[in-house]
Amino acid sequence: MVADSSCVLLPGPWEHRNIAANGAQFHVVLAGPQRPDRPVVVLLHGFPEFWWAWRHQIPALADAGYRVAAMDLRGFAGSDKPPHRHETAVFARDVAGVIRSLGAAGAVVVGHGFGGTVAWSMPAFAPTLTQAVAVLGNPHPAPLHRTARVPARALATLARFQVPWFPERALREGTLVPELLRAWSAPGNDGAASQAELYTEAMRLPFAAHSAMEHFRWLVRATPRTDGRRYLAAVSEPVRAPVLSVRGAQDPLLPARAFARDALYVTGPLRQRVVQGSGHFLPEEAPDAVTDLLLDFLGAHARVP
């Protein structure tokens, strides 16, 4: 069974638009005053989600006066799903291209999970466009490219995703999406797991499941290669932009020790926060707390005129 793309075009106080950037088309959900004098906030989802993961934050940030752009990352949901070019640096250039296509001189980039890896990478690959970075549920990527520093559960997940074909089939036809949403959430918190059917439908879109797996395969396979070493060298440079890093206190995938070295990679202002009662899927498990943290951070570094 192949899903219909209508599972991505969900109605709400926003508009859907396809935006050309970096040689591909991206599905972007826009909200808030689309005026050049308003700060732009780009929201990047995690795995196995798509833009819908930000459904609580989009209207709240828009109501506060921000130009909000929640995009489906390359390979996910309504965006293009090319067979190649799954490097994290390419994702960062995708985001930079979307920011330019919006006519903005820069943006605050907010990422969760895998989208957080892209957000951490933005100061290295698009420094002039990255005004500030907020990362939810994802430590700095440099230590995670060294196997000895990857938490056991995350390492086991990466290993599982290296197997050809079987993970894709489990995403499309099996129960892998709800399993991951439950396993990575805080006990008893179904903020993300309640959307399992919708996220599974998005994985059934043609080539979506394969693209999602290829992102994780690149993270492992590129480590000893030239492209991986080049990426690691770039993101190991100090982040001078303001950074907000938020983790869930009950995150089973990436525990507190995974974030212990973040400060070593940031020379700009750094805020580190912990949200109680939340696991890995912070925007959905703790929507109000995340919104408050983002608005506070934005008020300090991207004030609405």
For the segment 261-275, what is each residue's pLDDT rounded down to a tens digit?
A: 999 999 999 999 999
Q: Range with the lowest mean pLDDT among 90-104, 157-171, 261-275?
A: 157-171
DSSP symbol at 56: T
Token pair recorded at residue 63 = 């109501």
What's the pLDDT score for residue 221? 82
Contact 46, 281 (CB under 8 A): yes
% of the chain at pLDDT higher than 70? 98
User: Does pLDDT of 1 surpass 80?
Assistant: no
Query: How confident is the model over 150-174, as a mean pLDDT?
Result: 88
What's the pLDDT score for residue 5? 79
The residue among 206 and 85 whose pLDDT is bigger is 206
Q: How far apart are CA 119 and CA 249, in angstroms?
A: 21
Strand partners, 21: 24
Q: Range with the lowest mean pLDDT among 70-74, 144-148, 163-167, 184-188?
A: 144-148
What's the pLDDT score for residue 148? 53
What's the pLDDT score for residue 149? 65
Q: How far apart are CA 298 and CA 169, in angstroms?
A: 40
Which H or E element spans position 36?
Answer: none
Spatial neighbors of 232 by CB under 8 A, at least 6 apart, are 142, 145, 223
What's the pLDDT score for residue 192? 98
Spatial neighbors of 298 by CB under 8 A, at least 6 apart, are 39, 41, 61, 64, 66, 108, 132
What's the pLDDT score for residue 2? 64
- Taking the complete model, does pTM exceed 0.85, yes or no? yes
Query: How confident is the model over 195-212, as a mean pLDDT?
Result: 96
Spatial neighbors of 4 by CB under 8 A, at least 6 apart, are 201
- Our separate counts of H helices and E strands in the chain read 12, 8
What's the pLDDT score for residue 4? 75
User: Does pLDDT of 279 surpass 90?
Assistant: yes
Q: What is the pLDDT of residues 185-198, one digit of tens each?
A: 999 999 999 999 99
Structural domains in the chain, sorted by start:
5-298 (3.40.50.1820)
User: Does pLDDT of 147 surpass 60?
Assistant: no
Q: Beta-carbon neighbour count of residue 273 at 10 Å? A: 14
Token pair recorded at residue 228 = 């991986």
Q: What is the dihedral of CA 247, 38, 303, 127, to 10 degrees?
A: 60
Token pair recorded at residue 87 = 């490097």
Average pLDDT of every residue of the chain: 94
DSSP E strand boundaries for the chain = 15-21, 24-31, 40-44, 67-71, 107-112, 130-136, 243-248, 270-275
Token pair recorded at residue 70 = 């929640």
Q: What is the pLDDT of residues 38-54, one digit of tens each?
A: 999 999 999 999 999 99
Query: How confident is the model over 68-95, as a mean pLDDT?
Result: 95
The pLDDT-based confidence of 177 (bands split at 50, 70, 90) is: very high
